[in-house]
Structure 1
Amino acid sequence: MSEEQRSTSGEEPGEEAADHTGGVTGSAGTGGGVVVGGSMTGGAVATGNDSRAKDSSRTVGPSPLDSLGPPSLVAPPSSVQPGGLFVGGHLTGGAAATAPGSEAEFSAVRIDSRHADLLASIDALISQLPSPADSPEGDALAGALDEVRQDITATGRATRGRLERLRDQLTTSNAALTALTSAVAVADSVRGLLS
């Protein structure tokens, strides 16, 4: 999967629902339409009676703006109807809804590559941990790993406090746990994010 758009919601790129990144939704009725003068690489737009637009994408890697370059400045065309939406540049995320009864929600999360690497290392380590009955230390470590995992999937990054707690758990866990290759990868990622 490319770094530009690796999905962490369990869906592969291109399989997102219509209200995810890249989606344009609309309903029949009196909307003013949408005109994008540049490009649309993410977000959601809705027009028409009782329209809704929602962008709740989960993407990994740099913003599409990094590869698009500056947009051409485009004057609004006369074809945009009242209640319509005109974007003169690049639409790379967000949600816009026009017309009566419209609703827009933006709850997207972009995960940078360093946090994505940590997330992958955490998943690998969790799969290798012994059951809690076999190792209370493994249970404490699993708890710290889960907290960081939840932070990243919800917000795109882990808080410093949770990273420090995970670092401390890795430092105090028994040698068998910390010798796992995946534990070393987690420790390296945490060190890099804390520096």
Structure 2
Amino acid sequence: MTTDDRGESPAPGHGTGRDAILRAARRAFALRPYAEVTMRGIAADAGVSASLIVKRFGSKEQLFTTVADFRPAADELFAAAPAELGRHLVVTMLRLRDEFRGDPLLRVVFALGNDDERALLRERFREQVTARLATQLTGRDVELRAELIAGQLLGLGATLSLHRPGAGNSAKPERLVELYAPGLQRLIDG
């Protein structure tokens, strides 16, 4: 099986659904500037026709807007009480990485393109992930703690992607949770 520049594997057998298209689009927009991404290239990677992408998403711009939306991942990541959030974040990140066949947040770091595209991704990430997390925290320095937690989540994803194969990829998920969640929980608790 081949991997992309970040070590992410394409979807096995591709697929004909929305998820296969979104996985292919995430890879394309993360690895190449917007102007170089084509609907045909995304379609080939997803194993679908370009006309199906147009039917489901409209234009390349609308597809990019969908890919630049971090809310679905944030909804799942932050769906726990603050006292259990550290553990939940790690468990959910690992599960989403499996489901997306790639990291649900890292595209904000690895995205290429012009300043406008990168700025849009960063702004959406700040608004939909970091600022949203800050509203769930209490006590002092909630914005700073939210930024540090988001950075830790990006770090976990980057580590697992960069060190493939590596100890983190061969470790049982529960071991990763045991090692990583306490640090996140300290930031959550303040």
For the aligned pair, the TM-score class normalised by the smaller chain equals under 0.3
With CA pairs under 8 Å and 6+ residues apart, which has the higher RCO, 1 or 2? Answer: 2
| Greater helix fraction, Structure 1 or Structure 2 | 2
TM-score by length of 1: 0.26
| Greater strand fraction, Structure 1 or Structure 2 | 1
Highest CA radius of gyration, 1 or 2? 1
